[in-house]
Structure 1
Amino acid sequence: MNTKLKRKRTFTIQKLSSSLIIFLIPLLFFGQKVEVKGTIIDEATKATIPGVTVTIKNSTNAVISDSNGNYKIKAANGDIAVFSFVGYATVEKKITGNILNVSLQEITKALNEVVVIGYGSSKKKDLTGSVAQVNSKDFHKAPVTNVEGLIANKVAGVQITPRSGRPGAGSSIIIRGGSSLNASNDPLYVIDGVPLEGSNGGPGVLSQLNPNDIESFTVLKDASAAAIYGSRASNGVIIIVTKKGNLKETKVDFSSTTRVTSIMEQAPVLSADEYRSLVNTLQTKGTPPKTPPGVANTNWQDEIYQVALATENNLSMSGSIKSLPYRVSVGYLNQDGVLRTGNYERFTALLNLSPKFFDNHLKVNLNLKGSFEDEHIANEGALWNARAFDPTQPVRVEDQTYGGYFQYTQFASNPALAIINPVSMLEQVNTRNENIRSVGNLQLDYSMHFLPDLHLNVNAGYDISKGKYLSSASASYFPANLSEGYIYYGDPSREVQNTLFESYLFYSKEIASIKSRFDITAGYSYNDFLTTNYSYPTFRPDGVKQPNSDPVFPFDKPSHSIISFYGRLNYVFNEKYLVTATLRQDGSSRFSEDNRWGLFPSAAFAWKIKEESFLKNNSTFSDLKLRLGYGVTGQQDGIANYYYRPSYFSGFTDQQYTFGNNSYLTVNPGAYNLNLKWEETASSNIGLDFGFLKNRLTASVDVYLKKTKDLLNNTRVPLGFNQGSELLLNIGTMENRGVEFALKAIPIQTDNMTWDLNFNFTYNENKITHLNDVSDEGIGLFSDAILVNTVGYPRNTFYLYHQVYGANGMPIEGQMLDLNNDGLLNASDRYITNKSAAPKYLMGFSTNFQYKKWNLSTAFHANLDHYLFFHPYDNTISITEWQTSQNLSTLYYDTLFSHNDPAQGYSDFYLQNASFLKMDNISIGYDFGKILANSRVGLNLNVAVQNVFIITNYQGLDPEANFGSENAYPVPRIFSIGLNLNF
């Protein structure tokens, strides 16, 4: 063979062999397992994370990162590595080499995916109970005084109603219709892990919180979600989380809001000229008024109301000092009332620290909140007097006997017969309520070094407040000069000290080989509630001590405690099937030893239908989950401390025995019930969550049934049966059944424009199903009550006479239907109307539209099948039948009633359908962005209107506030402008 050819052939073979080897090397390497290593860090803090589980997907191969966040694992190129750790979002990464570093994001940073629940948190997709969360980005844009206003009417099944229009006044919150007759229907509030107990002297249970400090609300509605709180969760649970600092950057926010408030409308009463004309008409008929009209023209409502101003300023700073995240804030609110002389001031401060130690094994949360409230409470008795006072009389006169105010001086010796000048009631009476409060806790979460999946959580907290109330009148206040020139109502003061200690173990584990993930919680809780009521000597406003005013008992310290043991198991199989089970045992000192302990279990199941093979690749559904739940919760609120034991109370000063030269107060026995036991509510829930168009459209439907047994209620008992005429008893059962629907849609979502819509609907039917220990099967029947509770009807059903009408269609005064035809008109002729003061249907709607730097939002809500007893037609007393003539409602002309017939006060003529649609707020804002060159300072302006309008057939002022009472403090319309600076 030619040597040259041989060489060429050899070269060609070598070249082919080399090419083949180069080609085959990656193929051989691809299927070969190699050692992959890396470091896992926190995305925000850049700190290493020990204890992270690293699993090769679809295998049993798993390791855990060491104390420095390092890991090593055998894997092949192309495999998927899964990184998971409690409290962090799970990350999946494809292996493409020997080094794979990963950063994890804390779950709390992804609020859209994570929901705070009792004693921990859960991914939204893993929830099995009926839970709703509203985050700060979804809060109402209009400024609010109380934190509950941030989410008003945003959650299905939650009714938030303003208690009053008084400055600082809070709202009542009822979840799924409430569960009790006499006991509390308020939910349990938990803020940063501390349960709040009662209003503590303030205008509302949440009044001392600053809305600008709130990060999120979570509402636990059904028992499977709330039963972990046991005896305190019968009416649901609202968990509030405040804003925290972070390690990323320092941020300063300043906001300032100015509000102008005015009443929406005045009560329709006769003007001075209309009043005089009516008096002339009555005089020609021989029925002149008791007091002759004057010559003045006074609109008394103009005299008591004002256009009021309010200002609010808040400053907060968040960031970190080295590795110590913090957030600190201060706030000041000064709000005048639309009722003159009323004012509310609130100072708030907050400090949150959240450091981590020992390579992030120990997490510390220190939460401190403080507030001071100073209320100048306007005399709300002036509201009725302004509607009733003679409009032909002047506000002021030259005679200074009563401070220069017009008064009916002819009744000075018997002031009960007179109506007091409403302006003098505001200007001569001084009532103040001061309350200082601090809520705080220290929470430690320790991930065991030897077993990172096991956590020990310890929480120590407190809620301490001190309240002081003072009311007095000037020397010239009518008819104060009859008693040394002063009226003094006392200076009571009380301190509330609620303390909490909780500790629980939490263990989480994922076992890939059996496609299972579970976590277990087991804990202990101790709550102590101590109230100190002080009694002081009575002093006049000028500082002179009243004689014989030293209290026999200078203070009283009622207290009660709750001890609890609880546990919860969450189990997930194949990321499709979820099971939750909880058990809590509570012991309350309010019950005797035989009835002290209550056991409250719950269980829930969820099926992620979307994860099944027949739907996994379905393009129609982006989410579909079925939820089933059942649980039992308890109730012991509304029970006086030591009620199960015989008790004795000091008598009044006019109840004394005299022995020799000394007088001694009597001691009276009080009512008690040795057999009192837990009120219990069993709740069942079926829910369906679904989403479409990649969750641009999401909705949920829940159907629930709540059955409450052993209802707590004050019940009249025969004389001699106990030490009182009323006794708190476990008397029967009640049901709430209903349907909830919540919808969220994002019709538009582009770089420059976003539009979202939220709608919720609630139907709730309440019915009392059994009463025992009540002979007439009803509470309040055959009494003077307008609202009663009886079997087969909703709670607070109206109990009235049938009104008789004339041929002209007008009601005949005092003429009621004699139902039993006995010729008498009495309580036997009244009937149960099947109309309740609680609305049967609730609807809420809100929308937010954002275009570039502009933002427009609005919210509405409606109550339907809602009834109220509206009784202003003769303003309770006519001008002809009372010692002092008084003004009338213009509705007088619809009836021409001439006197106050006793039966007329129970006529169904006054029962009105008070269904309504209210536009809650509308706001528009503009984000100016960075307002200075090379600066971080940003500016946002906002203009808003609240309580815009009401559409209703109800003839009163507001069918929602304080059950539509005409004597209630009106809820005002509010115009506001605010700015926010951030840098």
Structure 2
Amino acid sequence: MKFSHLLILLLFNGLNIFAQQPVDSLFSIQQAHKVSDTNMLQGDIYDPLFLIKGKVAGASISKNGGHPGVPHHMIIRGLSSIYFSNNPVYVIDNVIGADISLLHPDDISSIEVLNNISSSSRYGNLGGNGVVVVNTKFSDRNKPINLNYNTSISFDKVAKQHDLLSANKYREYVLEKEYPFYDGGADTDYQDEMFRNIITNSHYLSGFGSVKNTSYYASISYKNQPGVVENSNSKQFGGNLKLKQSFFDKKLNIQAMVNFNRQELNGLDEFDEAGILEQTYRHNPTDPIYNSDGTYYSGLRAFDYFNPIEAINEINRSVIADQFFTNFNASYAINNKLKVLLNTGYSKLETKNNLHIPEIEGMVPTHPMEENYSDYSERLNVESSFIYENDINNTHFLNAEIGYAFRNHRSQFLQGQGQKPYKYIVFRREDSDSSIINTSINSIFASIGYNYKQRYFVDGGIRYDALNPLIERKGTLLSDPQDLGGLNILYPSISVAWKLNNEVFLRDVLWLSNFTVSAGYGEAGKENNLYTLENNTKLDFERSKEYNIRLDLGILKNRIFADLTYYNRTSYNVFMYRRVPVPPNLYPHIHDNSVEISNTGFECNISALVINKSKFSYLTGFTFSANNNEVTNFNNFKDNYPYNYLYDDDENSYIQQISQGEPLFGFYLPKTIGMDENGNMLFVKKGGGVTNHLSNAERIMQGLVLPEWELAWSNKFTIVKNIDFSFSLRYAKGHSIYNKAKMDLEVIYVPTLNALSETINEDAFYPEVSDYYLEDASYLRLDNLVVSYNLGLSNKNPDLKLKLFLGANNLLTITNYKGLDPEINYNTRYHGIEKANVYPPIKSYFFGLNFSF
């Protein structure tokens, strides 16, 4: 379809996809969930998404472990992609695709989550996983200079450790069993040696004000967060500047901003690829750390067995991530009904990773190694549009928009790796890799919204994306640049609403301040890397479509407010590997768009100002979400598809599989019924009976990766106007975690390696993949608790204020799960698996102050 033809179509249909929240449009009725800074979690905040943890139904925010360089991640309304990210796209001050984790939390004014695809479809191929709109702080206060300084100190400690055998218990067990054993002669608690208590400090200084028609906001920030693992650390530096200027009696408004943030990381990578934590947990407690001459001890008890303290001290890993983004937007009111908008955004994120592994006795590989790689991502978006708004006799309200957008995303990956087989570290061509992906998108969007007497609303839209991706890859997989050709995709949306409290038959019900029923439909895509080994140019983008029905209810001038949403989301064209014969095919697998995944569910947000007195107020809020995930179509697949193998060389070691009619990444495991006299696990056999061979065991779906439902409860009390007390609880129910750490710490490995204390009371057996290690990971967690005291320092100057606060994060967790952390990690393909290299969770106690003048 040509652009000219589409432009005529858009003008004729006038549907909405990129409205800027015009007055009285449906988008202001079926609102997205927006959390302002005053309603966010308070105190010392780990990273920006922690601010709204438990604040928005349907937005699942999680972080497994306490790694200082790993932020929280979010998924919206379940999992819908197998090989690509399920995370939403972040739009920060109209800059699309910027990384929220690198922002300082104090820079953020509000976070808005677009759950419904009828809202996020206005972002075209970026809206399929939802969109999170972030606004940084700004002020139009009519005062030239205002200053604010916020600082906090946090004391962090490991919240939970593995209960391992001590050296004395180890010796007692070995003597009892009469095992032949080499005693290292020491009493070493490797967890105590590896973990530490740390102090984190954060500083934020901002200045803002306005002079005549010019307003500004500037800030600088610094945060130093050592890790509880020795020699791990995260430091962040940042700066932000925003300017706003109006001209010609405020007909022309211009706003510009620049933001820069740097993060410096040292120590363990997110997934502990070197296996240092696994060595910590499994290391024999009778082995010393040092020899008598001060050198590192290395008792070679097993293959790939090395001193974890030597490794954490000698391996050098550093990561530097620099993010810069800027925005310029302008609006000009041609008259009181028509205005023109221009918005431009640019972002650049560059990450450099350097790794040096010296020769450590017992570590595999045995030679020293250097690895350097860098990721570079650059985005440009330009949008221009005309907006028309008209109020006809205070009866008919009309708004419409039509515009053009251009987006370009260029990403580059470079990697070099070398080992020291002889005298020098050699970088070989086959150990290097590089790729460049450059995607340009030209778009036309249009919208129309109509509202009759604030009772009946309709809002619809359409966006047309013309994509031109180009991919190059060099290194181990040599290929020519891959031009995937043009992809032209249409994304429609429509929403309707009925505001019943404005009807004549409900106008006299004074306690009812809002009663609105709405429904919406939308389609959106997902930004994917279409590169494949077989250069398959027939691949399409993954897409999602969704229906939703919503009820908004406000009581007593919205002192009690609730919204309830039912949604039905279908993701199609989902990427999947498919097995094919070789020959005639060159590869045993190819990609195709062969899977369809459904997510249906219910969400509820409730807030209530329970007490609102001059000397005491109480505000409470609940969020509830339940999601049902199902693979509804598994085209081209005759059999179930095994997923997540624990051991690469064992085809029976998978613990999850993808099957039509079942949840994505469901745990498919043999049913364990005991063990035989030789210590082999016994399973229910296919077709009935018992077997000790894993390959003959019957596998059934025994657990879910994601919670069946989640509930959060937030509370804020204000006493005598200057004392605030708040806390936030979350409960997740129905998900399971495969405890691979327990599997690796069984007593069968004694007297070589260490084991969990609980296992010495069990019969020794050879652990195999089974439901024995699958545990219910439902949990109740106290995320955040804060008490603050506000002081007015001057009666003459009300802007002179001091706020003192103290509190704790991750203060309490109640769960039957025996592993380290019942929260799952959404940013990994190993959904729902806790390995023996997990970074332990942390508990934080903090205090700080906020000074305004």
The code of the aligned residue for 2:328 comes to L
CA distance in 1, matches of 2:761, 2:415: 51
1:841 to 2:841 alignment: no
Structure 1 Cα separation of the partners of residues 504 and 340 of structure 2: 39
Tell me the equivalent position of 1:343.
233
- Secondary structure class of the residue paired with 2:662: coil
Q: Which residue of 2 aligns with 1:938?
A: 801
1:830 maps to: 698
Deviation string for 1:714-762 (max 9, x for gaps)?
A: 3343333544333221112221111111110111112222110000111
* Partner Cα distance (1:329, 1:780) in 2: 46
Rounded to whole Å, the distance in 2 between the matches of 1:633 and 1:309 is 44
- Residue 587 of structure 1 deviates from its aligned partner by 2.4
Deviation at 1:120, TM superposition (A): 4.1
Amino acid at match of 1:689: D
| Residue 798 (structure 1) aligned with residue 798 (structure 2) | no
Residue 183 (structure 2) pairs with residue 313 (structure 1): no
Equivalent position amino acid for 1:174 in 2: I
2:653 is the alignment partner of 1:784:
yes
Q: Secondary structure at the match of 1:522?
A: strand
- Bigger Cα displacement from structure 2, 964-973 vs 521-530: 964-973
Aligned residue among 212, 218, 228 for 2:122? 228
Describe the SS at the equivalent of 1:610: helix
Report deviation, 1:874.
5.1
SS in 2 for 1:905: coil
CA distances 1:269-316 after superposition (whole Å, capped 9, x unpaired) = 111111111111232xxx435xx1222111110000000111110100
**SS of residue paired to 1:155:** coil
2:170 corresponding residue in structure 1: 275
CA distance in 2 between partners of 1:932 and 1:828 (Å):
80
Paired with 1:928 and 1:759, the residues of 2 have a C-alpha distance of 30
For 1:463 and 1:760, the matched residues in 2 are separated by: 33
Partner Cα distance (2:611, 2:365) in 1: 69
1:140 to 18, 21, 41: 41
Aligned AA for 1:218? E
473, 494, 500: which is aligned to 2:357?
A: 473
Residue 518, structure 1, aligned to residue 398, structure 2? yes
The superposition leaves residues 57-112 of structure 1 with CA deviations (integer Å, 9 ceiling, x where unpaired) of xxxxxxxxxxxxxxxxxxxxxxxxxxxxxxxxxxxxxxxxxxxxxxxxxxxxxxxx
Is the alpha carbon distance of 1:425 and 1:856 closer, same or farther for their aligned partners in structure 2, counting shifts above 3 Å?
same
Q: 2:411 aligns with which of 508, 518, 531?
A: 531
Partner of 1:15: none
Once residues 477 and 736 of structure 1 are traced to their aligned partners in structure 2, the CA distance between those partners, rounded to angstroms, is: 50
| 1:537–1:551 contact (8 Å) kept in structure 2 | no
Where does residue 455 of structure 1 map in the other structure? 339
| 1:829/1:445 CA distance change after superposition, 3 Å | same
Relative to structure 2, which stretch is displaced further, 743-752 or 530-539? 530-539
Residue 956 (structure 1) aligns with: 819
Q: Which residue, out of 316, 329, 335, partners 1:430? A: 316
Q: Percent identity?
A: 25
Distance 2:578 2:205 in 1: 51
1:408-433 Cα distance to aligned partner (Å, 9 max, x none) = 25x7xxxx714211111111111000
1:111-159 deviations in Å (ceiling 9; x for gaps): xxxxx99634656986354621111110111221311111111001110
After superposition, what is the alpha-carbon deviation per residue over 1:874-920, rounded to whole angstroms, capped at 9, x for unaligned?
53565558xx810001231353224x3xxx43211111111111010
Alpha carbons of structure 1 residues 708 and 894: separation in structure 2 relative to 1, 3 Å: farther
**1:977 and 2:847 correspond:** yes
Q: Are the aligned partners of 1:126 and 1:578 in contact in 2 as well (CA < 8 Å)?
A: no
Cα separation, 2, equivalents of 1:813 and 1:482: 33
User: How far off its partner does 1:593 sit?
Assistant: 6.9
Q: Secondary structure at the match of 1:315?
A: strand
1:621 partnered with 2:516: no
TM-superposed deviation, 1:601: 0.6
Partner in structure 2 of residue 407 of structure 1: 298
1:476-518: CA deviation from partner (whole Å, max 9, x where unpaired) = 66669964xxx232222343221111112111111117x1111
For the pair 1:583 / 2:583, whether they are aligned, the reply is: no
Cα RMSD for the two superposed structures: 2.8
**Alignment TM-score, normalising by the size of structure 2:** 0.89
Aligned residue for 1:149?
Answer: 50
- Assess, with a 3 A threshold, how the Cα gap between structure 1 residues 121 and 382 changes in structure 2: closer, same or farther: farther
Distance in 1, Cα, partners of 2:681 & 2:517 = 57
Q: C-alpha deviations, 1:594-618, integer Å up to 9, x for none?
A: 7711111111101110000110110
3-state SS, counterpart of residue 150 of structure 2: strand
Q: 1:859 touches 1:921 (CA, 8 Å); kept in 2?
A: yes
State the alpha-carbon separation in 2 of the partners of residues 479 and 385 from structure 1: 10
The corresponding residue for 2:59 is 158
Relative to structure 2, which stretch is displaced further, 862-871 or 920-929? 862-871
State the partner residue of 1:488: 369
Partners of 2:818 and 2:363 in 1: how far apart? 35
Does the residue aligned with 1:257 lie in a helix, a strand or coil? strand
Q: 1:928 and 1:790 mapped to 2: Cα distance?
A: 60
Query: Secondary structure in 2 aligned to 1:366?
Result: strand
Distance between the aligned counterparts of 1:566 and 1:589, measured in 2? 18
Q: Superposed, which structure 2 residues align to 1:597-676 within 5 Å? A: 597-640=488-531, 643=532, 670-676=533-539
Q: Secondary structure at the match of 1:274?
A: helix
Gapped regions of structure 2 (runs ≥ 5): 1-16, 471-482, 645-650, 826-831
2: CA distance, partners of 1:158 / 1:550:
44
Question: Is the 8 Å Cα contact of residues 733 and 770 (structure 1) preserved in structure 2?
Answer: yes
Give the match for residue 715 of structure 1: 578
Output the CA distance in 1 between the equivalents of 2:738 and 2:175: 32
Distance 1:125 1:418, change over 3 A: closer
Tell me which moved more, 373-382 or 870-879: 870-879
Structure 1's 950 and 117: CA in aligned 2 closer, same or farther, altered over 3 A?
Answer: farther
Equivalents in 1 of 2:740, 2:416: separation in Å?
Answer: 41
Query: Larger relative contact order (C-alpha < 8 A, sep ≥ 6)?
Result: 2
Q: After the TM superposition, which residues 287-326 of structure 1 pair with which residues of structure 2 at under 5 Å, given as runs?
A: 287-289=179-181, 292-326=182-216
Unaligned runs of 5+ in 1: 1-115, 198-204, 644-669
Verify the 8 A CA contact 1:179 1:234 in the aligned structure 2.
no
Amino acid at match of 2:333: S
Q: Which amino acid aligns with 1:469?
A: N
For residue 445 of structure 2, what is the aligned residue in structure 1?
566
What is the aligned residue count? 803
The partner residue of 2:149 within 254, 265, 271 is 254
Q: Which residue of 1 aligns with 2:828?
A: none
Partner of 1:182: 83
SS at 2:744 equivalent: coil
Deviation digits for residues 152-205 of structure 1 (CA, Å, limit 9, x no counterpart): 1100111000144111321120111132222321111111111116xxxxxxx4
User: Is the alpha carbon distance of 1:207 and 1:572 closer, same or farther for their aligned partners in structure 2, counting shifts above 3 Å?
Assistant: same
Q: TM-score, normalised by structure 1?
A: 0.77
From the superposition, tell whether residues 364 and 894 of structure 1 become closer, same or farther in structure 2 (CA, over 3 Å).
farther
